[in-house]
Chains A and B, each alone.
Chain A
Amino acid sequence: MATDAPARETYEQLSVGRGGRLERLVPIALVLGVVLTVIDVVWTFTLAPLVQGAQLSEPVVIAGTQVTTKLLLSQKIFYLHVPVAVASFAIMLFAAIWAVRFLMTKSRRFDLYSKTSMEVTLVFIVATMISGDLWTRFEWGVWWTWEPRLTTYFILMLLVIGYFILRNALDDPERRARFSAVFCIVAFVDAPISFMITRLVPSSIHPVVFRTDSGLPPMMLIPFLLGLFGMLLIAFALTRLALRINVDAQEVEDLKERLEEQDAWKTRAAADAALERLRADASNLTAAAPTSDGSASSVRAAAASDVAGAGGPASDGSVDSLAASTRDASAHPSDLQTPSGAAAAASSHSHDSQEA
């Protein structure tokens, strides 16, 4: 149940992992990831051999060697496209795991983790879509085709976008965290489908990359693995960095809320103090007033007790009830303008303006 767990964690709890060993690794991971990816790209265009494509109608000589098949330069995208796509699946897996953890613990920290991972997932998904589109344009001759892998991956992108639209449509933070965790888990179901579909659907023309019989020569396998490892490192570092930003934003949000709370508290305390002063004044005046005849004094006593009675609940800030009771008191026919009533009305008026 949501109410069992502390509804609002302090920001100290939120920033767990801050300054830890993992946090110090982030810049190193980022630099290493970028270096590995750069090596991958350079290797791709220098050392990795071109892939043989379709047969040419007649042999041609390119750079001193006789070539009988078309050489596919567009295949170079493979060294970047596949690592990015794998990274997008990997981060989304973490987003789903954290969503499950959130539903188990109701700790707001995991909601933040899950949301951050989804943000990075979206970045990687868009990068995959762009690089994949460039490839399909030159390999298949079209910008887009409703091929099963492309379709399911496109749906994955729509699901991640839908996740953020859902988040924005919910105002209550607790409910937003719960619903988006549920949707994250439901959306993640599409990720394995997208990953597996090239194996399941025989009509799929998208190449199957991860298999044991790929027979990639080392000159092609090494840059690919470097790129894969580098991209995963970049994904990790990006997630941690985004998490730091999100934790800070959350912290600011919490501090703001706390400040507002304290402000409200101070206003209420001031109102209480003023009320206390007013009640003291009222009792002084009642004691000092001349007791000319019995009925008037009883009315005055009733008015005073009204004021005093209103003082109890009014300590929680409702000056209105006091004002109402004073108005009641002053509605009595005899000694309408007792000093006490006038003073109470005047000061309650000043209270109202203070509250406003």
Chain B
Amino acid sequence: MADSRNRGQRRSRRASSFQQYKALLLKDLRQEIRTREMLTSMVVYALLVLTIYGAALAQVGDSVDVVALAGGLLWALIIFTSLLGLNRSFSHETESGCLEGILLAPVDRAVVFLAKATSNLIFLAVVELITVPLFFLFFLSGAELATTTPMMLLPLAVGTVGVAGVGTLLSTMTIDTRGRDVLLAILFIPVVFPLLYACVSATSVAFLGIEGTFGTFWTSLALAGAYDVIMIAAAWGLYEFVVDA
């Protein structure tokens, strides 16, 4: 009886890691739902990139098989859009001293990382939910799609997880630096490159759907998955050195 009350008190004194994670994640989501700052800018930016693609491909007409290019184009769109989102994801944390507040609370740094990475992942997924269909509409509506096209969702998921994980670590590092927008791009693009390479290769195989190339698809997917595991583990472990100031 007394024991259970004690336990209850202890629980009320200090939230479990999962509760902390949930609180931090909900804070980000709530903030985004109220301001819609990040999602709006990311979606509009993605639309602009699609417009640029339109201009870039306007003159080639039917002479170029867009399906063969589509994997690369799609991933360029995702990388650029996520870069913008990652830059923004920490700006309001610093503006109102929110990050200091979180760090003052007795919360494990790994939980902070996980919450931030999850919120970035959710925002990226929402943006992809809007832009990927638009991409198909704008560039692939006339093309003959292979029956294996839906398989592109696998590299898309694996790639987005990796982008959110690595991006969270790097954007935390660059928030207080001089010229942080450029710096994030300089650090993020080379670091994420192996993942990009693997995902483009897997996505292209899925788009083309040529019989006998699916060995490459699974190899690339395995490489991307291995990259995710290594990089997120590294980011998780190194995060405490990045935030305690």
Q: Which of B164-197 contact A (CB under 8 A)?
A: 166, 169-170, 173-174, 176-180, 183, 186-187, 189-191, 193-194, 197
Q: Is the CB of A162 within 8 A of B244?
A: no
Please tell me if A242 contacts chain B, counting CB pairs below 8 Å: no
Total A-B residue pairs with C-beta atoms closer than 8 Å? 75
On whether A189 and B177 interact (CB within 8 A), knowing A159-B190, A178-B242, the answer reads: no
Cα distance, A189 to B166, chains bound together (Å):
12
Provide the bound-state CA to CA distance between A169 and B173, in Å.
11
Size range of the chain A interface in the assembly: 20 to 34
Check if A182 sits within 8 Å of B177, measured CB to CB. no
A contact face: mostly helix, strand, loop, or mixed: helix
Shortest distance between the CB of B164 and any CB in chain A (Å) = 15
With both beta carbons as reference points, the residue of chain A lying nearest to B177 in the complex is identified as: A169
Is residue A61 within 8 Å, beta carbon to beta carbon, of the partner chain?
A: no
Name the interface size band of chain B.
Answer: 20 to 34
**Nearest CB in chain A to that of B226: its residue:** A193
Question: A151–B198 Cα gap in the complex (Å)?
Answer: 13
Give the residue name and chain of the B residue nearest to A168 (CB): B178
Which residues B189-245 have CB closer than 8 A to chain A? Answer: 189-191, 193-194, 197, 223, 230-231, 234-235, 238, 241-242, 244-245
CB distance from A192 to the nearest CB of B (A): 10
Given contacts A166-B187, A169-B177, A183-B187, contact A193 B241 (CB under 8 A): no
Are the CB atoms of B245 and A175 closer together than 8 Å? Answer: yes
Q: How far is the CA of A315 from the CA of B63 in the complex (A)?
A: 83
CB <8 Å contact, A103 and B191 = no
From 80 to 134 in chain B, residues with beta carbon under 8 angstroms from any chain A beta carbon are none
A165 to B183, CA, bound (A): 8
Query: What CA separation (Å) do A201 and B177 show in the bound complex?
Result: 38
Q: In the bound complex, do residue A183 and residue B173 qualify as a contact, i.e. CB atoms below 8 Å apart? A: yes
Nearest CB of chain B from residue A170's CB, rounded to whole Å? 6
Known: A165-B183, A182-B242, A189-B230. A155 touches B190 (CB 8 A): yes
Q: List 9 A-B contacts (CB under 8 A).
A: A152-B194, A155-B190, A161-B186, A166-B174, A175-B176, A179-B242, A182-B169, A182-B173, A187-B190
Report the 5 A-B pairs with minimum CB-CB distance, sorted nearest first.
A169-B177, A158-B190, A159-B190, A182-B238, A155-B193
Name 4 extra pairs, CB < 8 A, besides A166-B183, A169-B178, A181-B241: A159-B191, A187-B191, A189-B230, A190-B190
